[in-house]
Amino acid sequence: MAAAVGRVLRLGGCWSALALPGGLRAQMLRLIYTTTAVQRKNIGASGPEKYTEEFIKKQIEEFNLGKRHLANMMGEDPETFTQEDIDRAVAYLFPSGLFDKRARPMMKHPTEIFPEQRKIQWGEDGRPFHFLFYTGKQSYYSLMHETYEKLLNLQKYQDQLLAQDLPSQKEKRNLSGSRWLTKIELEEMLLEKLSDDDYSRFIQLLENMMTLPCGDAEEKYIQKFSKEVAVQLKKVDIEPLKYDERGVAFSTGEGARKTARATAVVYDKGTGKITVNGIDVLHYFPVLQDREQLLFPFQFLDRVGKHDMVCTVSGGGRSAQAGAIRLASAKALKSFVTEKEVEFLRQAGLLTYDPRVRERKKPGQEGARRKFTWKKR
Amino acid sequence: MGALLPSVPLGGFTSRAPLSVVSGSGEMLRSLKGLVCHPRKLDHACALHTAARDCLSAIVTQDVQTPAERPRAVFYTSESDPAKHTEQHEGRHYSIPLEELKVVFPQGLPPRFQQQIKTFNEACLMVRKPALELFTYLKSSNFAHPAVRYLIYGEKGTGKTMTLCHVIHYCTKQGWLVLHIPDAHLWVKNCRQLLQSSYKKERIDQPLQAAAWLKNFKISNERFLKEIKTQRKYVWGKRESTEEGRPLGEVVEQGLARARIASDAVGVVLKEVRQHCQLGSFRLLVAVDGVNALWGRTTLKKEDKSPVSPEELTLVYNLRKMMMNNWSGGAVVATLSQTGSLFKPSSAYLPQELLGKEGFDALDPFVPIPVPNYSPMEFESCYRYYLDRKWLQHERARTEDGKEELRFLSGSNPRQLERLAAPL
């Protein structure tokens, strides 16, 4: 009997309840039966694969064990083996010539590799844990709920202060050095998809909270959702002027563009004479366009006839060499000029290295972008 | 001066000044004698341009200032006789009357300068040091000695041909006979017709070039053609001949009439002139532009595709004889030119490089006269001239910054400056 049932089961397909002996019926009813077509649809709709908690725990144990093995292999102490040591060891043992760093072999803690996933939100009885589960975006709405509660508290506090006629404390917060989390960062924090509308509502709420005076706890809460932005200005460093044997001040700068590399030495108290590789600028750059490029930094600072320049340049073509010398001379001129003017130079783009390089030709196309002539037939 | 209204720029569009205005001011200048030297800047021009919106006030300022001194004197001198040019006039422009221009320079002015003359309706030349140097040499030279050869050299576009023209003008004013070959490179390249010479079998004639030169020679030296008489008989063909004692004009007429014998006519003219000069009746100036063409290579080919060397060309051969210092009573002023030269690198400008060994030996004892780029003062003067002629229409060009920009971009090279200023 059991063998016959088993044979039918192996054949698969849907079958309705047959007339079977009563003893086996109870077992039959508990079996789940589906057709192959329905089976396929279910697999597609399940989405990205879910990692269970035990799976993650096992990965972590394996990682730790592997770390110790790796430390032994490299002859280091397993107890004090840090992530940097792991990276170095892996790079040594599996050298790779791939350009993309993310494609190379790596060994990292499972929490960094496997994206965080939400645990099962309901218990054994099927009841969800969170009271807002049935809204669909439970973490988002709970966050809004909390934040609004805090906002109401702050408003109440401010009303109390006003009622008591105390001066409202205006604390200066550093607004320029921080920014709010982006939508993607917020999604990662909440482990939930958001829409643009939701995100903008949340940010508006935070802005409203910022306008009110708040205590330390609220400050800490808000800081969870803001990030520091490094100020550009502090990065530019200006070298001091040097003096040569004649007592004339000079400064050097280096520049590059495409494949050309240039160094420029700008002297003070000059007549605007420029020498490139020992040749006068008129002979080296017969084209007006190149000379205009050289003129640009000086003209920008209104110092056209006041400096002499001696440069060396190699590589690239005529336009690339002109661009390289322009960058080098702008960098050299930084030392002669006030900080404000250095900022003007930076904003004019004279101090930025031009990253444009020749794009590679791709197979199946005639050039970098140009495709072969399309023929209908 | 109501005609100035349209010339005042509104909105900074670039357009050339109307010619009528220019000629008006030019005539006024020539009539004004005794200009007072003023060191101040062109406030007159600045007043004009800042009052662009209010045209009436422009006319008012113009009327007030016209009868008074014109600040053109800073870069301009009314001395139109080159003989009287001294260091005092250095850096200043002087103008050559247009009627004189046609006689003195039927050929030989650089083409861009000719265009400039047509635009500005006046020919203004800058007095520069090399020219003044040459004048002192010419004034103090002893004409009993063999002719001294002066070689003007310099980088491209620094004003060698203009210096030569200045010297030619001076000599013409002094009454010399000027043999001016505008560009010797024209005789060694791009010649359409080459005939085998009837006089000597190996030589090759160039009828077109010879005829053109004879025509210009006739225009520039009319009176000498009547004075000089031939010293022997020349037989041109079976039926034509020129007797002894006939004026040189007849030889020139023969050359112009019959293109076949034009090159030989040129040779005859050169020989006669040289002989007469030695007798001392007049002074001779041989002015050659692009003298390095005489000793270089040519791009011409004979019918059997073999290259022609310069000695085989009649014109070149005769001219080389003139360049020798075996005659006295005059001077030879020559210019080196890389621009039209054949088979020479573009960075070459020294006599050694451009003439080659043969040429250098042939010209050997010569006086080199280098022509440099504009000095700051000369640059200033040229800039003011363009400004005054309303050639620089861009608003920025009138500011100090614009001047510095022009100076930087042109590298104080006259040709670059002229090319830069053209579209402005």
DSSP string, A39-53: HHHHHHHT-SPPPPH
pLDDT of A232 reads: 61
A304 with B420: Cβ contact below 8 A: no
Lookup result for tokens 């002893």: B142
Residue B256's Cβ-side half-sphere holds a number of Cα atoms within 13 Å equal to 14
**CA dist., res. B34 & res. A335, Å (int):** 52
Give me the mean pLDDT over the A342-349 stretch.
Answer: 87
pLDDT of A313 reads: 94
pLDDT score of B18 more than 70? no
CA-nearest residue to B417 within chain A is A288
CA of residue A283 relative to chain centroid, distance: 47
pLDDT of B350 reads: 79
pLDDT score of A314 more than 90? yes
Chain A residues 223-282 with CB within 8 Å of chain B: 272, 280-282
The Cα of B155 is separated from the nearest Cα of chain A by a number of Å equal to: 10
pLDDT of B33 reads: 43
Q: What percent of chain A has pLDDT over 70?
A: 83
pLDDT of A235 reads: 65
Task: For residue A167, name the pLDDT band (cuts at 50, 70, 90).
Answer: low
Q: Exposed, middle or buried by CB within 10 Å (0-12, 13-18, 19+), for B11?
A: exposed
Lowest mean pLDDT among A162-171, A222-231, A315-324, B170-179: A162-171
Q: In sequence order, which residues have a C-beta less than 8 Å from that of residue B182 and are 6 or more positions away? A: B107, B108, B216, B289
Q: Which residue has the higher pLDDT, B57 or A270?
A: A270
pLDDT score of B112 more than 50? yes
pLDDT score of B3 more than 50? no
pLDDT score of B2 more than 50? no
The Cα of A303 is separated from the nearest Cα of chain B by a number of Å equal to: 9
pLDDT of A201 reads: 93
Give me the mean pLDDT over the B24-42 stretch.
Answer: 42
ipTM of the complex: 0.71
Best mutation target among A279, A284, A289, A291 (most B Cβ atoms within 10 Å) is: A291
Q: What is the DSSP string of A299-342?
A: HHTT-TTT-EEEEEEESS-HHHHHHHHHHHHHHHHGGGS-HHHH
Residue B345 in tokens: 């690198």
Task: For residue B23, name the pLDDT band (cuts at 50, 70, 90).
Answer: very low
* H-state helical runs in A134-182: 138-163
DSSP-derived pairing of the beta strands B366-370 and B148-153: parallel
Give me the mean pLDDT over the A258-287 stretch.
Answer: 90
Q: What is the pLDDT of residues A275-293, one digit of tens each?
A: 999 988 888 998 889 999 9
Lookup result for tokens 């200005």: A233
Residue A84 in tokens: 């940097």
CA-nearest residue to A308 within chain B is B408
pLDDT score of A226 more than 80? yes
pLDDT of A275 reads: 92
Contact residues, chain B, for A282 at CB < 8 Å:
411, 413, 416
* A298/B contact by beta carbon, under 8 A: yes
∠ at Cα B324 (B322, B326), nearest 5°? Answer: 105
Q: What is the pLDDT of residues B207-254, one digit of tens each?
A: 888 888 888 888 888 888 888 888 888 877 777 777 777 888 888 888
The Cα of B246 is separated from the nearest Cα of chain A by a number of Å equal to: 54
Q: Which of A272, A280, A302 sits opposite B408 (nearest CB)?
A: A272
* H-state helical runs in B233-392: 248-257, 262-279, 314-323, 351-362, 376-388
Contact residues, chain B, for A299 at CB < 8 Å:
401, 404-405
**CA dist., res. B354 & res. B193, Å (int):** 27
The Cα of A349 is separated from the nearest Cα of chain B by a number of Å equal to: 20
Beta bridge partners of B151: B334, B368
Q: What percent of chain B has pLDDT over 70?
A: 83
Whether the full predicted model's pTM is greater than 0.80, yes or no, is no
